[in-house]
């Protein structure tokens, strides 16, 4: 890539223009690992291209999966040759991480099907998006690299339909609303996210009232973007924290009184275009038993 118009561009930006199938995060990892070089030299991600520079690189083959499959029951909503949609229960972690080396959704998927995409790496095969451990509901996983790229592109351009049901503390004055506030790392706690971060990425959440109770409200929430902890952070920022949320002030006393062991958040709707030709796919998941019991106990 030596064209004059790219002179002065950051290396990662230039590669992204020439290789639209690769995500920015994937490109950064390739540069940092030395798979993408400039004139044969390993450089930093922010390197500014100069006239005459020669950018060379290749994408390594997906890492072999070394995780052991585990016979964990899965609620499979849909499956074809390129993807699988599951209804994840609350309490299940999506993929292995520090302190969690077994019992994840990935371990269950490896037992269920042996053809997951390797793009996500050794610990996240096929994982296109995630749900928090305490959140239940619909999640799509890629079974081929082509499907992974196609689905990731839809999430990146925000064309995926994602609706959640959230039981929150408080009573909104209106029947619907939106939150448009950037989200970044909390300035005082790196494990949390905040709308008051020094720097953040734009995030948009739309909500509407499904049912009102004495001190709680059931909301239907639609994501326009998909940032980490977006719903939990945005609803807390407008005074409507998710019941049972252990991080963002959902009120543990209330959740204990309700007999709820997790945050009251459920991914109820998931819609996207199939990686191959075909009509748009849309799936709905009813509230799981624990949330149904809580809401039934709140009265009409």
- Report the catalytic residues: 132
In sequence order, the 6+-apart residues with CB closer than 8 A to the CB of 266 are: 135, 136, 137, 164, 165, 166, 285, 287, 288, 291
Cα separation, 265 vs 91, in Å, equals 12
Cα separation, 157 vs 161, in Å, equals 11
Residue in 142, 214, 205 with CA at minimum distance from that of residue 171: 214
End-to-end Cα spacing for the chain:
64
Cα separation, 112 vs 116, in Å, equals 10
């Amino acid at each position: 890539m030596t064209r004059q118009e790219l002179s002065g561009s950051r290396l990662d930006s230039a590669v992204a223009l020439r290789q639209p199938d690769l995500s920015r995060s994937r490109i950064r990892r390739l540069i940092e690992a030395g798979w993408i070089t400039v004139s044969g030299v390993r450089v930093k991600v922010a390197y500014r291209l100069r006239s005459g520079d020669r950018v060379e690189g290749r994408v390594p083959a997906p890492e072999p999966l070394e995780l052991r499959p585990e016979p964990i029951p899965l609620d499979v909503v849909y499956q074809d040759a390129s993807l699988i949609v599951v209804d994840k229960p609350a309490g299940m972690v999506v993929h292995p991480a520090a302190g969690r080396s077994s019992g994840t959704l990935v371990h269950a998927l490896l037992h269920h099907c042996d053809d997951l995409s390797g793009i996500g790496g050794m610990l996240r095969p096929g994982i296109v998006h995630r749900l928090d451990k305490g959140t239940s509901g619909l999640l799509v996983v890629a079974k081929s690299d082509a499907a992974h790229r196609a689905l990731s592109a839809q999430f990146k351009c925000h064309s995926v339909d994602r609706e959640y049901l959230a039981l929150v503390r408080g009573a909104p004055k209106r029947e619907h609303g939106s939150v448009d506030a950037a989200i970044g790392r909390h300035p005082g706690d790196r494990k949390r996210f905040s709308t008051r971060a020094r720097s953040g990425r734009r995030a948009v959440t739309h909500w509407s009232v499904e049912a009102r109770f004495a001190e709680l409200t059931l909301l239907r929430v639609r994501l326009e973007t998909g940032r980490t902890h977006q719903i939990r952070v945005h609803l807390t920022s407008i005074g409507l924290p998710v019941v049972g949320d252990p991080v963002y002030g959902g009120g543990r006393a209330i959740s204990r009184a309700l007999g709820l062991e997790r945050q009251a958040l459920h991914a109820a709707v998931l819609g996207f275009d199939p990686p191959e030709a075909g009509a748009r796919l849309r799936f709905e998941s009813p509230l799981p038993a624990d949330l149904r019991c809580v809401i039934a106990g709140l009265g009409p």
